[in-house]
Amino acid sequence: MTRKFRESGFGKLALRLYGGILYKRFVESSRDCRASSASALRRILEYAKDSEWGRAHGFPLILLAEDDDELFRLFRANVPVSDYDELRPFIERCKNGEPNVLFPGHPKMYSVTSGTSGEPKWIPVSEAYHDVVYKKMTVLWLYSLLKLCPAAFDGKAVSVVGSVVDGEVPDGTVFGSVSGLTSRDIPWFLSGIHSVCEDVFKIDDFNARYYAIMRIGIEQDVTALITANPSTIMEMQNVVDSHLDDFIRDIENGTLCDMAEIPGDIRARLSCALSPNVRRANELRELRKKYGRLFPKDFWPNLAVVSTWKTGNSGMYAEKIKDYFPEKAIHIDLSYFATECRAGITLDGSDTTVLFPGVHFFEFVPEKDIGKKEPQILGIDEIEDGKQYSVYVTTLGGLYRYPMNDLVVVDGFFGTIPRIRFVQKINGIVSITGEKLHERQFVEAVRFAEDETGFSVRFFVGFADIAFATYRFYYEFEYLEIPGEDIEFFNSVVDEKLKSLNIDYESKRNSFRLKCPVPYPLERNSFLSFRKSCFGNGNHDGQFKMTLLMQDEEKHRIFRGLVRK
């Protein structure tokens, strides 16, 4: 019996035992999701009742509720909906070392994502949230993969994630990537499945990072491929297409070629784990002779499971890579999972997410009420199959009635727990590959470009083009005859400003998952022409609203017709 088989067998056995216990509890919570939801809310309120936020919003009083109806009523009466901008002052105090602000003690770390202004969101991760979600619920997710695909962990796993530690906030607490944290803190009995070490994800240059991932990964027997964005797999394939000869040479010699811009200390640590592998190098040469262009189904023939997002805009990219993998490989959705909240898991190979009612407290606003001053608020047990909702979460991580700005649709149930599928971002937020670009960021970038270039813009609008992984920006300049090269320059300034305003946009552009935005000059009075067209489609003047950043093919078609010839 080989060491690899022994390790794989032990890890899978431990996962079946521990994961099986968590799965049984999860099934029990599905029998009455309303009761599970009330239990989760009580646990969250109890955890944070002595924090400043908890005392200010009456958590001790709410906990005196005699039944679930009263609990929900008191919670909604005492705790306001709070988006990130309202939480920011409290989080800044946490970052500066003040304890017991949003929850007991200090955050364990901060996970960082883009905000609606130039400042990123610093999402605190409490000890309780980490232990329940990033440990136990991650085990449940891994168990669901194993249950669906028994060969998932027979070999190595390639997980493409962010760096766990990118730096420190003023009080010394680290900040980094939630995906990196999830990958790092898998159970100890599965820690050997990673094909690459954490150092790889500290490489800033994305070309070099992808090179290192695939240089190490292509040498191994990989049975699981996990990354949030399927567009990342397309970029990994591009690296294989461009550097297969370099990979073969490196594998044969046990090296990491100098062309990859890898910091010296990281290169040294990675190189220590490499050794010549002539057999694998010859295998890849033979595969290249046989097939020419190599895909994962060629160099990873035992690949059993692929887990990425498949819903919303990601579905476009998931469709493009579907033929990359062996026929037997199962491609399943990664689940509804954001920096702010890991909301649930996918089960049974479905592309829907079964929510965690026993972990988080969920509230929902029907699609028709989105944007209203006093929308209808529904509990997890009140939402209906086939209908769309905006999601609000309350978590052990200091988010209370927090709007996720996501539109989801209910698609069946697991017991009494709704299965949801992500549809799109809402409230002026557009996302092609996870960048969550906000309308106000686009407006700020255009105004900045006007100041920098001296070119005045009378009107502008932007559209997400999912098929081509780019944004198409339409500008009506004050001076209509502006030369094409000046339009390109103006647009490049907008692009650079967006990178500075949105860290996820910058990351996606730098990693080539998001292409350079494409500019188009509009004819004179384009907005008036657009509005007239909308009225002709049944809209009324008093109801007319204009969003400047959209994912809307019907409106995009109108502006294509307004481009200056």
Return the minimum-mean-pLDDT range out of 8-12, 289-293, 353-357, 480-484: 8-12
Residues 114 and 121: beta-carbon distance below 8 Å: yes
Q: Give the pLDDT band of residue 115 (cuts 50, 70, 90).
A: low
Q: What pLDDT, on a 0 to 100 scale, did the predictor assign at position 191?
A: 80
Q: Where residue 38 falls among pLDDT bands split at 50, 70, 90?
A: very high
Lowest mean pLDDT among 15-24, 98-107, 127-136, 194-203: 194-203
User: Does residue 206 have a pLDDT over 50?
Assistant: yes
For residue 545, pLDDT over 90 is answered with no
**Mean pLDDT within 531-549:** 55
Q: What is the DSSP string of 347-408?
A: -TT-SSEEE-TTTSEEEEEEGGGTT-SS---EETTT--TT-EEEEEEE-TTS-SSEEEEEEE
Question: Mapping DSSP to helix (H, G, I), strand (E, B) and coil, where does residue 168 land?
Answer: strand
- For the ranges 187-191, 254-258, 368-372, the maximum mean pLDDT occurs at 254-258
pLDDT(1) > 50: no
The domain spans of the chain are 155-180+191-333, 429-560
- Reduced to 3 states, what is the DSSP secondary structure of residue 243? helix
User: By mean pLDDT, which of 27-41, 508-522, 529-543 is the weakest?
Assistant: 529-543
The average pLDDT across 209-230 equals 93
Q: What integer is the mean pLDDT of 5-25? A: 84
Predicted pLDDT of residue 114: 67
Coil, strand or helix at 441: helix
Residue 204: per-residue pLDDT: 84
Q: Average of pLDDT values for 323-350?
A: 93
Q: What is the pLDDT of residue 356?
A: 96
Residue 11 · residue 193 · CB < 8 Å: yes
- Give the C-alpha separation, 214 to 238, whole Å: 11
What band does 541 get if pLDDT is binned at 50, 70 and 90? very low
pLDDT of residue 253 exceeding 90, the answer is yes
Mean pLDDT of the chain: 90
| Position 531 confidence tier, pLDDT thresholds 50, 70, 90 | confident
484-490's contacts with Cβ under 8 Å and 24+ in sequence apart are 486/453, 486/455, 487/519, 487/521, 488/519, 489/453, 490/449, 490/453, 490/455, 490/519
**Whole-number pLDDT of residue 370:** 87
pLDDT digits (tens, 9 = 90+) for 407-437: 899 999 999 999 999 987 787 788 898 888 9
Return the higher-pLDDT residue of 177 and 110.
Answer: 110
- Dihedral, CA of residue 255, residue 261, residue 262 and residue 264, to nearest 10: 90
Q: What is the pLDDT of residue 116?
A: 55
Residue 268's pLDDT is 92
Cβ atoms of 363 and 389 closer than 8 Å: no
With beta carbons less than 8 A apart as the criterion, state whether 219 and 251 touch. yes
Question: pLDDT class for 536, splitting at 50, 70, 90?
Answer: very low
Residue 346 main-chain phi, psi, to 5 deg: -90, 145
Mean pLDDT (whole number) for 25-50: 97
pLDDT over 50 (residue 4): no
CB atoms within 10 A of CB 205: 15
CA distance 493 to 473: 12
| pLDDT at site 244 | 96
Question: How does residue 548 score in pLDDT terms, banded at 50, 70 and 90?
Answer: confident
Please name which of 302, 338, 420, 342 lies closest in space to residue 121, comparing C-alpha atoms: 338
